[in-house]
Amino acid sequence: METMDTDLPNRWIDIGKVINRGGPFAAPDFQPDTKESPNIMNGLQSDFKILVIGAGGLGCEILKNLALSGFRNIDVIDMDTIDVSNLNRQFLFRRKDVGKSKAEVAAAFINERVSGCNVTAHKCRIQEKDEDYYRQFKLVIAGLDSIEARRWINGLLVNLVVVDENGDVDPDTIIPLVDGGTEGFKGQARVILPRITSCFECSLEAFPPQVSYAVCTIANTPRVPEHCIQWAIMFGLEDKDLPKPFDPKKFDNDNPDHMNWLFQTAKKRAEDHNISGVTYKLTQGVAKNIIPAIASTNATIAAACCNEAFKFCTESSGSLNNYMMYNGLNGVYTFTFEYESKEGCAVCGTNIVTYPVDPSTTLTTFLENITTDSRFQFKKPSLRCNGKNLYMQGLLHASTVPNLPKTLPELSVQDEDEITITDPSLPGSLAVRMRIKYKLSN
């Protein structure tokens, strides 16, 4: 492989045209680089540490763009391994890499190709890193295909911002999030300044919720094949009595052995409830939520994301305010607009949501309503009210199942009471406080 010499005199000549002189779009306090004080270039190549989340189709493009834009200090996180189906668009990988870590192979490729670039790989889930790890970065770029993961990193970065007793934000604790996403010929790039602009959670309703099923239905009365597959994912992995040929905490839906276990478990669940139709292909579809990917869309959105990272770090131009959508289905169409902060946002807002409920609503129906509500998109919610467990996941699940057929008033939930909801889609100790407002249905 040919190595690019980053120390050639003309290597960064194009970047110099941007950072060596001012312009009408530069920030008010922008100070161009000079031969005596190349502060911006030094920052790109040493001080500006960037985190890239995801080393798939979008992540490969982002890593390449950052390295060729002068950034030398980059971390990349991805828990997945390379599949042969990735090779047509994830260009940092070769056939010999199939089965290896995406993050590790991508980092090694960039480090070898671009001399002086230091990409550090982490094969893990983003939830496995602590807050101190994330505090070291100047900026985070997310190239994720999971709404749940994007919600998690968004919530964590919001929580890292220090706000004093007067409500003033400490700007030194703000770590911007540049979020990119693609689906087929469509894509989007977004700049999120935690506690300053709207966060990802503010616009959660813009993302159509994945097909979901009520937790209580999955646990107790499955009716369709998908219920059985979801049961295997949600409860089978946690069931210590079910033998597994792998660590359930490290379940990988790209691993054939793991997927075969999931299929067999779901099939057995279906047989126990006289349900037919569970196939290996359907199991893959439910577990992976497969999204079509097109290389040109990834390239376009990655370019937009890296452009925003470069502008923010160098202050050579104003940042996107704050959302750009792209559609390449019939030509090239882009549109930019500002997402406004949502007052009742569970992450960056007041964190208290008033929720109208009919007093005759059972806990089962209430759970179904909040898990299908596009504002929340909960996965496996646990509920507490007035110091009492209403419905819990995990070890306490069995003890709270008897509450499901009871109405909220029967569970001592009064008008204006607050139900505290925790969910895996929310980071750390973050919880949604839902104020119940009883209202008779028409």
Whether 216 is catalytic:
yes
C-beta separation of 47 from 71 below 8 A: no
Catalytic residue among 60, 216, 306, 385: 216
Residues 6+ apart with CB under 8 A from 374: 204, 205, 207, 208, 209
C-beta separation of 131 from 156 below 8 A: yes
Enter the tokens of residue 91: 């260009």
Distance separating alpha carbons of residues 325 and 178, to the nearest angstrom? 13
Report the 10 Å Cβ neighbour count for 178: 25
Enter the tokens of residue 232: 């295997």
3-state helix, strand, coil in the chain (%, to 5): 40, 15, 45
Report the 10 Å Cβ neighbour count for 325: 15
Enter the tokens of residue 282: 């359907």
- Give, in order, the Cα–Cα distances in Å from 199 to each of 116, 267, 314: 34, 40, 23
C-beta separation of 104 from 59 below 8 A: no
Instruction: Tell the burial category of 88 from Cβ atoms under 10 Å away from its Cβ (0-12, 13-18, 19+).
Output: exposed
Helix (H, G, I), strand (E, B) or coil at 311: helix
Q: At 304, which helix (H) or strand (E)?
A: helix 295-314
Distance separating alpha carbons of residues 194 and 125, to the nearest angstrom? 22
Cite the active site residues. Answer: 216
